[in-house]
Amino acid sequence: MAGEAPDPKTFESWEEAFQYPIPAVRGMERMLRRDIDSNREKLRTLVGASYRDLLGTAESIIEMDGEMHDVEAYIGEIGQRCNTRLLEKKGVNLRSWTGKIEAPDSAHYAFASQLYVLRSCPDVMSRILKHGSSVLLAAKVLVISRLLHTRLSQSPTPPQYLESLRIRLGSLRRRLLGRIDRRFKTLELSAEAQVEAMCAFSLATSSSPKDVLRHYHHIRLEAISEKVEQGASDHENMLLALGIYVKTLRDTRAVVPGQLAYALERLKSVSLFKSKEVYSLMELNLDVHGRWIGDDIKTFTPYIRHDDLSKAEVEISLKQWAKRAFSAFLDGLRNRILDIQDPLVLLQLRKEVLELWLSNRQNSMGIDSTETIDGLRDVFNSQATRIIESRAAILADIGLMVKQILRNWRSDTSALTPSLWELSMSSRDMANVGKAFKENLMTCAIGKNEPLSTVSQRYTIFLERIEAVEEMIRNIRQTKWVDEADDVDDEEDPLDNKQVLLSEDDPGQLQERLNNALHKAYADLQDVLIRLHPHNDDANCGQQSSFLVRIWRELRQRLPKSYQCKDLGLISIPALQRMVIDEALRTPLERCTKRIARTSLRKSLRERLLWEGDPELPVLPSAWTYQFLLDVVSSMGHYGSDLWTAQATNGLKRGLITSIESILRWRQEAKTNGHANGKDGDAETRVLENDDVVNGEKHEQGEQEGKISSTKKANGELANGEPADHKEEQKDNRIQRLFDIFYLIDATAVKELDRADNGLISLQDSLIEDLALDTQSVERMKTNAQEYWKRTSLLFALLA
């Protein structure tokens, strides 16, 4: 398409046209000439049309000029015929004619118009109040209605329903004042709306600015009291009450006396009847009835002293009101937060109240901010203290529960602890009950039966509540306070130490009160539990003592962070452990005494067959020793393996040492002093007379009769008949007894027990001295006893 000419309208300069071939340039020339011809025709058409419009305009101007000349001629003629003297004469004649002709109808029209406007005023006020329009406009209508009512009531024949109108206007006045009061109570009210409401109150009640300010403060005080009363169900109302207090301080300084005085002065500058808002009311129809209303009403302006309130008087009045209002707020706050028992809720309310006050403290210049902060701190700290004391008092319930449990104690109470080998435990489905199984496992391991679980659950509730208090104190300490007034004036600010007061002093005081309350609560509980110690002669002394030991363990293992007393219960636990130890050792010691007595009645030493070495010495303890330790461990397990801490086990071992040493020493002395005259055998027989079964073995009275005793001769061969060497038999018994003592010393070893205080060691030394054994034999027996204890110690795990 080389012959097609481009559009010259797209060129930016004329040089671009000559960059194309000559045919294209010629084509562009033709195109331009066509455009020029087309534009020339358009211009010719436009010029012709404009010329016709100009001709029409010229004709109109000529016609107007002629009419103006005619008007000037008419006016000139009128001016020549009229003068001032002639017009005054005509006006006097007109008024004279009107007075004579229309005088009777004028009074009737005035009465009718005034009555119409008066009857319309209540409707207008009702509409304004219903739609929430301007209260100032309603007050203006109220004043006009009172003026009209006064005028009509003074007429010779007042209407009969004038009294009903007065009653209705009185009701509307009260409704208007109520609306003004509600606006005064509104927090969202702007300064302009507030000034308007104050002007409306002044106009409706003919009050001075002092009276207006006094009523405004009275209503704001009522609003604070109402919000505080409602705070019992909604704590948000407490913040609204403080917000009203703060906003009143700000609004009073912003509005009074400056804006209020200016608004009242402007209200007095124009008569109410001629005000634009009143005249535009459609219901009154003043454009028709206005001419028939008297001049005293149409020109009425309210008389209000707008300048009778100075700024100093406002400050004095504001300080007096602030003192009363804040006192009312504190009293209401103090009463309402008594219902708050949740520390976190109290903390949140404290934070919001103090933040609200501190963020608006610049509006309280002239008010004692230190007294305000101290008042708020005292209210919240007092309630926090009450919460602390009430929650610490829960610990007293533990003592009451334990007392009730011990009072209703049954002999099978300890059996309430489940066993790991019960069918309900072993047959449990482990698919989805891992947590439950773990809890049951721990319950069995620590002996937590139903009574102990009940106490533990109550103690858990106590700890959770104390932890909530501790969290509250921790949050108070971590809170950072920002005072907006610090940016305004930092010189000699009494609240420069607000961070210290609110985040250090307050939590410090509360922490001290919490510590004191917990100390007293635990001390009282300790006294109660000490008084609940069972007597040694009680049938369930051991079980009750073990229950109390577990109670102490539950308390000591889960102490609150604010009470970490390591000495708690230490004056009670050892005594309880001694009671448990005495009960746990009673039955094993009785059986042990009978077994030792039965062993002494035997004619031969059965364990002699198992001696080894050269010389032959014991390598195994006697049967009674082994059975005695089994009985002890079984009795310990009966009371619960969780009770046998290192301290309790050592106490039991000390008891074992003392008891078994006394038994063996008595036996040794009886053998030495009473064997010759036969008293030993008689005493042993009397011990066994009433015990036919010892540890499941039947005691046969005629065991020695009709049987052949197997004894060992001097060369080691067995023979029938009596022992050949009675002294050698006695020595063997004492050697076996020495080995038993070695074994018992290993079983009852206590690191903290001195050698001189160990009765078994002293008994061991006396036997070694009596037997006159060489050192090598003694050491070999000690080694054998130690090795045997190592092999069997796992069987006596609670003692090991």
pLDDT above 50 (res 712): no
Q: 175 and 286 share a domain?
A: yes
Residue-level pLDDT at 411: 63
pLDDT in tens, 139-192: 999 999 998 888 888 877 777 888 888 899 999 999 999 999 999 988 888 888
Res. 495 pLDDT band, cuts 50 70 90: very low
66: in domain:
yes
Residue-level pLDDT at 401: 92
Q: 664 and 775 share a domain?
A: yes
First and final C-alpha spacing in the chain: 115
Q: Determine the Cα–Cα distance for residues 451 and 472; give it in Å rounded to an integer.
A: 32
Domain-ending residue, one of 339, 354, 384: 339
Res. 711 pLDDT band, cuts 50 70 90: very low
What average pLDDT does this structure show over 757-763? 87
Query: Mean pLDDT: which of 103-107, 193-197, 365-369, 689-693 is highest?
Result: 193-197
Res. 85 pLDDT band, cuts 50 70 90: confident
Q: 542 and 669 share a domain?
A: no
What average pLDDT does this structure show over 323-335? 90
pTM: 0.70
Render 243-310 in DSSP notation, one character per residue.
Answer: HHHHHHHHHHHHHTTHHHHHHHHHHHHS-STT-HHHHT-TTTTHHHHGGGS-HHHHT------TTS--
90: in domain:
no
242: in domain:
yes
* Domain span including residue 535: 365-413+449-486+494-557
Extract the tokens encoding 321: 């009101």
703: in domain:
no
Residue-level pLDDT at 725: 55
Q: Which amino acid is at 287?
A: D
Extract the tokens encoding 358: 């501190």
pLDDT above 60 (res 385): yes
Q: 507 and 647 share a domain?
A: no
Residue-level pLDDT at 439: 63
Q: 498 versus 761: which is more confidently predicted?
A: 761
Query: Mean pLDDT: which of 128-137, 353-362, 417-426 is highest?
Result: 128-137
Q: How far from chain centre, in Å, is Cα 466?
A: 12
Res. 372 pLDDT band, cuts 50 70 90: confident
pLDDT in tens, 560-571: 998 888 889 899
pLDDT above 80 (res 245): yes
Q: 617 and 666 share a domain?
A: yes
CB 411 within 8 A of CB 420: no
Q: What does each C-alpha distance from 278 to 136, 140, 195, 274, 626 come to in angstroms? A: 10, 8, 19, 7, 117
Q: 604 and 732 share a domain?
A: yes
What average pLDDT does this structure show over 531-557? 87
Residue-level pLDDT at 463: 94
Q: 173 and 27 share a domain?
A: no
Q: 200 and 74 share a domain?
A: no
Residue-level pLDDT at 179: 92
Q: 369 and 506 share a domain?
A: yes
Of 48-52, 374-378, 524-528, 578-582, the poorest mean pLDDT is in 48-52
Residue-level pLDDT at 688: 46
Q: 114 and 72 share a domain?
A: no
pLDDT in tens, 465-480: 999 999 999 998 888 8
Residue-level pLDDT at 436: 62
How many structural domains are present in the chain?
4
Q: 61 and 173 share a domain?
A: no
160: in domain:
yes
754: in domain:
yes
pLDDT above 90 (res 396): yes
CB 261 within 8 A of CB 310: no
pLDDT above 90 (res 609): no
Burial string for 202-236 (b: 16+ CB within 10 Å, else e) reads bbbbebbbbebbebbbebbbebbbbbbebbeeebe
Average per-residue pLDDT for the chain: 81
645: in domain:
yes
Q: 159 and 284 share a domain?
A: yes
pLDDT above 90 (res 361): no
pLDDT above 80 (res 499): no
569: in domain:
no
Closest by alpha carbon to 771, among 677, 668, 684? 668
pLDDT above 90 (res 392): yes
Q: What does each C-alpha distance from 508 to 74, 241, 501 come to in angstroms? A: 103, 29, 10
Q: 329 versus 433: which is more confidently predicted?
A: 329
